[in-house]
Amino acid sequence: MLTVYEYPNCSTCKKTKKWLNDQGKNFEAVHIVESTPSKEELASLHEKSGLELKKFFNTSGKMYRELEMKERMKTASEDELLELLASEGMLIKRPIVTDGKHVTVGFKEETFNQTWK
């Protein structure tokens, strides 16, 4: 069973859920603002993803600009960045999809075909 951390109004999240449904994949949708992953959960997702931590930030979001994250990313420690992500679900790039072993961030059909098909 997959877990999809999503924001229901997000068009990318809607595309992701449609793709997963079309593939017959079972998943649990978790509202990323109402049930923001903890710092520990985010650290685990980050480690399993193999991606840079900055890929977990919603760089096009209002919160990212308001918190001046572009500048903060240059000097903040990984621990500080994980704290920020855990404190504000709207900072997190979505969707995050995981089966407990693999993790994808965002939606790229090619990546989904390789990871989730």
Q: pLDDT tens, 60-91?
A: 999 999 999 999 999 999 999 999 999 999 99
Before 95, cis peptide (omega within 30)? Answer: yes
Domain that holds residue 81: 2-109
Compute the distance between CA of residue 56 and CA of residue 46 in angstroms, rounded to an integer.
8
Q: How many folded domains does the chain comprise?
A: 1
Question: Nearest 5°: phi and psi at 4?
Answer: -120, 110
Domain contains 115:
no
Quick one: pLDDT at residue 47?
Answer: 97
Domain contains 76:
yes
Domain contains 117:
no
- Mean pLDDT of all residues in 40-49: 98
